[in-house]
Amino acid sequence: MLKIVAACAMGAGSSLMMEMKIKQVCKELGIDAAVSHCQISEAKSTAKKYDVVVTALNFVSQFKAAEEAGVKVIAVKNILSAAEIKEKFIAAEIK
Protein backbone atom coordinates (compact mmCIF):
# COMPACT_ATOMS: atom_id res chain seq x y z
CA MET A 1 0.00 0.00 0.00
CA LEU A 2 1.34 3.40 -1.00
CA LYS A 3 1.42 6.21 1.51
CA ILE A 4 0.45 9.53 -0.10
CA VAL A 5 0.19 12.98 1.49
CA ALA A 6 -1.40 16.12 0.06
CA ALA A 7 0.23 19.29 1.35
CA CYS A 8 -0.90 22.91 1.27
CA ALA A 9 0.07 26.08 3.11
CA MET A 10 -2.23 25.72 6.12
CA GLY A 11 -3.13 22.03 5.89
CA ALA A 12 -6.86 22.61 5.96
CA GLY A 13 -9.08 23.33 2.96
CA SER A 14 -6.86 22.99 -0.09
CA SER A 15 -5.04 19.87 1.04
CA LEU A 16 -8.30 18.24 2.11
CA MET A 17 -9.74 18.87 -1.35
CA MET A 18 -6.55 17.48 -2.92
CA GLU A 19 -6.83 14.41 -0.68
CA MET A 20 -10.35 13.79 -1.96
CA LYS A 21 -9.21 14.14 -5.61
CA ILE A 22 -6.21 11.86 -5.00
CA LYS A 23 -8.49 9.20 -3.51
CA GLN A 24 -10.72 9.47 -6.58
CA VAL A 25 -7.72 9.08 -8.90
CA CYS A 26 -6.34 6.14 -6.92
CA LYS A 27 -9.70 4.40 -7.19
CA GLU A 28 -9.83 5.04 -10.95
CA LEU A 29 -6.28 3.74 -11.46
CA GLY A 30 -6.64 0.81 -9.05
CA ILE A 31 -3.91 2.12 -6.73
CA ASP A 32 -4.01 0.78 -3.18
CA ALA A 33 -3.11 3.85 -1.12
CA ALA A 34 -3.49 5.46 2.27
CA VAL A 35 -4.01 9.16 1.57
CA SER A 36 -3.78 11.96 4.13
CA HIS A 37 -3.32 15.72 4.15
CA CYS A 38 -1.38 18.28 6.17
CA GLN A 39 0.31 21.65 6.04
CA ILE A 40 3.56 22.23 4.15
CA SER A 41 5.77 22.50 7.25
CA GLU A 42 4.54 19.16 8.60
CA ALA A 43 4.77 17.47 5.20
CA LYS A 44 8.28 18.80 4.69
CA SER A 45 9.50 17.40 8.01
CA THR A 46 7.79 14.00 7.55
CA ALA A 47 7.99 13.63 3.75
CA LYS A 48 10.45 10.74 3.85
CA LYS A 49 7.86 8.48 5.49
CA TYR A 50 5.61 8.81 2.41
CA ASP A 51 5.94 7.28 -1.03
CA VAL A 52 4.31 10.26 -2.73
CA VAL A 53 3.85 13.94 -1.85
CA VAL A 54 1.30 15.95 -3.84
CA THR A 55 1.47 19.72 -3.57
CA ALA A 56 0.78 22.90 -5.48
CA LEU A 57 3.37 23.92 -8.06
CA ASN A 58 4.57 26.89 -5.99
CA PHE A 59 5.52 24.64 -3.02
CA VAL A 60 7.37 21.87 -4.86
CA SER A 61 10.84 23.34 -4.23
CA GLN A 62 10.39 22.70 -0.50
CA PHE A 63 10.51 18.94 -1.12
CA LYS A 64 13.91 18.62 -2.85
CA ALA A 65 15.42 16.63 0.04
CA ALA A 66 12.50 14.19 0.02
CA GLU A 67 12.79 13.82 -3.75
CA GLU A 68 16.50 13.10 -3.43
CA ALA A 69 15.63 10.41 -0.85
CA GLY A 70 13.36 8.67 -3.37
CA VAL A 71 9.97 10.19 -2.55
CA LYS A 72 7.95 11.00 -5.65
CA VAL A 73 6.90 14.65 -5.50
CA ILE A 74 3.95 15.56 -7.69
CA ALA A 75 3.40 19.26 -8.38
CA VAL A 76 -0.03 20.27 -9.62
CA LYS A 77 -1.09 23.55 -11.15
CA ASN A 78 -4.79 23.06 -10.43
CA ILE A 79 -5.20 21.30 -7.08
CA LEU A 80 -8.87 20.61 -7.79
CA SER A 81 -8.25 18.85 -11.09
CA ALA A 82 -8.58 15.08 -10.81
CA ALA A 83 -7.64 14.92 -14.50
CA GLU A 84 -4.32 16.71 -13.89
CA ILE A 85 -3.55 14.57 -10.83
CA LYS A 86 -4.35 11.43 -12.81
CA GLU A 87 -2.14 12.57 -15.69
CA LYS A 88 0.75 13.29 -13.32
CA PHE A 89 0.33 9.96 -11.51
CA ILE A 90 0.46 8.09 -14.82
CA ALA A 91 3.51 10.07 -15.99
CA ALA A 92 5.30 9.42 -12.68
CA GLU A 93 4.34 5.72 -12.83
CA ILE A 94 2.56 5.82 -9.47
CA LYS A 95 1.21 2.30 -8.98
The model carries a pTM of 0.94
**Which domain covers residue 23, as residue numbers?**
2-91
Per-residue pLDDT tens for 57-74? 999 999 999 999 999 999
Q: What's the confidence (pLDDT) of residue 13?
A: 85
- Contact at 8 Å (CB) between 82 and 89? no
Q: What is the mean pLDDT of residues 3-19?
A: 89
Q: How far is CA 21 from CA 17, 57, 58, 66, in A?
A: 6, 16, 19, 22
Instruction: Give me the CATH number covering residue 75.
Output: 3.40.50.2300
Of 5, 71, 66, nearest to 33 by C-alpha is 5
Per-residue pLDDT tens for 15-51? 999 999 999 999 999 999 999 999 999 999 999 999 9
- Contact at 8 Å (CB) between 59 and 29? no
Q: Structurally, how many domains does the chain consist of? A: 1
